[in-house]
Structure 1
Amino acid sequence: MQPITSGGDRAETGRGSILVPVLCGLVQMLDGYDLSTIGLAVPSLVKAWGLPPAAFTQTFALSSIGIMVGAMVAGPVADRFGRRPMLLVSVLLFGVFSLISAWAPSLPVLVALRFLTGVGIGGAMPTTIALTADYIPQRWRATVIMFMFCGNTMGGFIAGQVAAATIPVYSWHGIFVVGGVVPLVLLPLLFWLLPESRHFQAGAAVEPGNPVSGLFKGGLAATTLLLWLIFLLNLLDMYLISYWLPTVLTLEGLQPADAAYSASMYAAGGVISTIALGVLLTRFRAEWVLACNIALGVTCVAIVATQHLAGLPLYAVLFGAGGGMVGSQLGLNGFAAAAYPVALRSTGVGWALGVGRLGGIFGPILGGLLLSLGFSPLSIMLFVCGPGSVTFVSLLVLERVRRGLTQEGRLASA
């Protein structure tokens, strides 16, 4: 078995090393906004359509299935044909179908539209990560990708602010209109400014045969499987919280606009945590940093689930929960990109996100199931602590696996 090395993986330098992360971060901001819209719209849709909250479980699940399909298809396609075209198509998809969602006449139509929106959202995720990684030196790769991808979380924060401002005036329609119009307006700018990786401009070699099989060669098998488990569990927690938190807070007595604002604190914590994580990831092993951060998130979620908080205390604890859960996922995205060579980068990240999206599917379903079975709204938050604890342990196991491979000379340091 041959070692995995960084050969052929020299990062680009110059203007592209700044422009590409900025543009990809902008795409992720749009992506994160559209990702958050359905969860923020549900409290108003419940009142407008006279449906119980659990009826929207299928909307959450099909959105996540769309994201899974988009990520798992886009990764291998981008590794073979280039990052840029795949990214532009993804932005077009989630922009168009988010805009159409504003005029959905019924729940089945909304479910179909959110699936198609999800395909675009999922396609943008691995391609922005891989394209950014192609332009950043190895030492800074995980940190820069994390900062780039925090645009996704910032988009979720902005969505909460937009929802709080527009729902009282335009009900649920306005948040989807903004989520569709802005990406479509910015698409020509991306077409003009966004470069392709020179790995593809120069005709870089691609993984022969099925690119997914490369994720299990050269000492990568254990890393791949552990990353899939970690992504699955953390995204299960993230999506359960993201989709159901506004509804849970509404059921606990908050008005929809106030619940949306409170939920935005969770997204804000994910963004701000990148400042500390960015420093720590360049100085310590990523697995240890991310495990400790997950532990912080689990602790804060447990506080939300067991204490009836309101106002500033609620904002602060949700901020900490977002810093732990969302911030760790941002770091994991960068870690996954750094763990794979350039010929497998989009595929590796895409499949980690795609498998993780199974958690994104089951998380919202579990939330709806718990509500339909009569559990208290806050018990949904308490459920999150179980998968979060397993994620913590899995990161420690991953550290031991990768440390052993590095000492054997079979794996380049990520």
Structure 2
Amino acid sequence: MCAVSHFLRRMLMSSVRELIDSSPMNRVQIRVLLVCLLCNMIEGYDILSMSIAVVPLSEQWALSGSQVGTLLAVGPVGMAVGSLVGGPLADRIGRRPMLLLSLAVTAVFIGLSATATDLSTLSGYRLLAGIGMGSVLPALAIITAEFAPARKRGFVLGVLSTGSGIGGAAGGAAAVLLMNTYEWTAVFLLGGALTAVMVVIGVVAIPETPDFLASRNTETARRKLAVVMEKMRLTGADKDPRAGRIPVDIVGGVTSKGANLRSAVMVMIGLAFMMGTTVMYFAQMWIPKLLVLAGMSANQGISGVLLVSLGSVAGGALLAVLSTRISPFVLVFAFTIAGGLMMGVFSLVSGNLVLAMVVAPLLGLCNQAIVVGVYTLVPALFGPENRTSAMGIGLGMGRLSMIVMPLLVGVMIDGGWNPEALFQIMVLPCVLLLLLIFGMQKFRNRPQRNAPDDASRAVLESHA
């Protein structure tokens, strides 16, 4: 009986996924994408607001380079914990409840950060806010991917990724205006309020994903699935003629069940997340401080990181467009080479305001495209039963680099390293990422997805 139940569940999952993949994008899917995009803007705002607030904070509290590094690192520590715990939990309780709970936790502790009066208290609040935000990110990526047709996954994840850059650029600009009028505390009050608003919007606008509901073998899940599919108007009558044109590299290496969490694929993707995250967040976290050390004013340093965020928006959008035509492996490889070159060039121009402002958005573009390219591999390589776990593990490993990197950079600054040398050493993660991409391209398998045959559909109908 258990074997029959498992068989029916697998066939239902295949049938639902086949229907979504063969249909055009509808209003529900677009609405979910837009709401997830808004949620992702919160992450961009939070990370950049901390890197901006740390400039006046370091002067007001007389913080050393190591203390600044600690303050920048505690958020990623929380994100790592949140991703590693929240991903598997979302595979158990659902993507939607995990997302809403995580947003609520994030809202509370970002807001409380404004009440901190010393380094220890602020670090504690940043840690707890990071745990909430870390749980948000895998849920957002998987919700977006599971509502989209397989051929559109690279596109929707690229669009989703632009939220971080938009949130960073728009929110960062707002943070600068707030700090000029009020103090750094206003930055966190605004972040907490915006996150609380997204909790309310999420409750109304985001249903549970069809893939997750189809993977549950309960009557309640089947009823919810029927409601969601009805809202999406997926009856199979309106098939998208482009449905068959799914890039081989998007679905390569996938069985009907998906890759195992203990496989070499998981290890390589986790390491790829670590390398991509290192170069992206080094630029976002440290450019304001390093440009000031290179001789620029605080406002010029902040302008540099805002331009990096604008470049990130362009990078996500560019990858979204290219991913429908080019293998993500090729895209990540190309952008990694470009990102390493931009990091080296930035090291040479960091003391020149005009040239630094020209290179900064190009650096942001390449870094964002690298990370989004790695994101696009996860939904294709893992099945609904462990997909959010895989994303959470990958993001968690990426956050580990966010923990170590600020601490090391802080120690290196105290040790007398100049900004040029710090940018140059960031070329090394790009080289390591190229090796990982080459390894994944070489060793991945390409079995076909299994679709339910006529006999399987008959069994499904008999148990409906």
Query: For 1:222 and 1:284, how far apart are their aligned partners in 2?
Result: 24
Corresponding residue number in structure 2 for 1:29: 41
Q: After alignment, is 266-275 or 289-298 more displaced?
A: 266-275
Q: Does residue 70 of structure 1 match 2:75?
A: no
Count of aligned positions: 397
Query: Runs of 5+ in structure 1 lacking a partner?
Result: 207-213
Residue from 51, 55, 76 that aligns with 2:63? 51
Residues 127-142 of structure 1 correspond to what in structure 2 (within 5 A)? 127-142=139-154
Residue from 348, 356, 372 that aligns with 1:330? 372
Corresponding residue number in structure 2 for 1:7: 14
Corresponding residue number in structure 2 for 1:225: 267
Change (3 A) 1:215 1:374: farther
Contact preservation (8 Å) 2:336, 2:366? yes
Change (3 A) 1:203 1:388: closer
Query: For 2:280 and 2:350, how far apart are their aligned partners in 1?
Result: 21
Residue from 412, 418, 421 that aligns with 1:376? 418
Residue from 44, 61, 79 that aligns with 2:73? 61
Residues 180-219 of structure 1 correspond to what in structure 2 (within 5 A)? 180-202=192-214, 204=216, 217=260
Query: For 1:298 and 1:411, how far apart are their aligned partners in 2?
Result: 36
Query: For 1:347 and 1:90, how far apart are their aligned partners in 2?
Result: 15
| Aligned-residue RMSD, C-alpha | 2.3
Superposed CA deviations along residues 165-200 of structure 1, whole A, max 9, x for unmatched, are 222222322211111111113322221222111334
Change (3 A) 1:33 1:205: farther
Q: After alignment, is 4-13 or 226-235 more displaced?
A: 4-13
Q: Does residue 395 of structure 1 match 2:437?
A: yes
Superposed CA deviations along residues 264-283 of structure 1, whole A, max 9, x for unmatched, are 11111111123332232222
Query: For 2:448 and 2:394, how far apart are their aligned partners in 1?
Result: 21
Corresponding residue number in structure 1 for 2:404: 362
User: Match of 2:385, SS?
Assistant: helix
Superposed CA deviations along residues 306-365 of structure 1, whole A, max 9, x for unmatched, are 234434421221111111112211222122222211221111111000111111111111
What TM-score, normalized by structure 1, do the two folds share? 0.90
Change (3 A) 1:200 1:336: closer
Corresponding residue number in structure 1 for 2:326: 284
The letter for the 2-side match of 1:180 is G
Offset at residue 62 of structure 1 (A): 1.6
Corresponding residue number in structure 1 for 2:232: none
- Greater Rg, structure 1 or structure 2? 2
Contact preservation (8 Å) 2:159, 2:316? yes
What TM-score, normalized by structure 2, do the two folds share? 0.81
Identity of aligned residues (%): 26
Q: After alignment, is 150-159 or 308-317 more displaced?
A: 308-317
Contact preservation (8 Å) 1:43, 1:53? no
Contact preservation (8 Å) 1:68, 1:358? yes
Change (3 A) 1:284 1:186: closer
Corresponding residue number in structure 2 for 1:296: 338
Superposed CA deviations along residues 111-132 of structure 1, whole A, max 9, x for unmatched, are 1011001011101100011111
Corresponding residue number in structure 2 for 1:41: 53
Q: Does residue 164 of structure 1 match 2:176?
A: yes
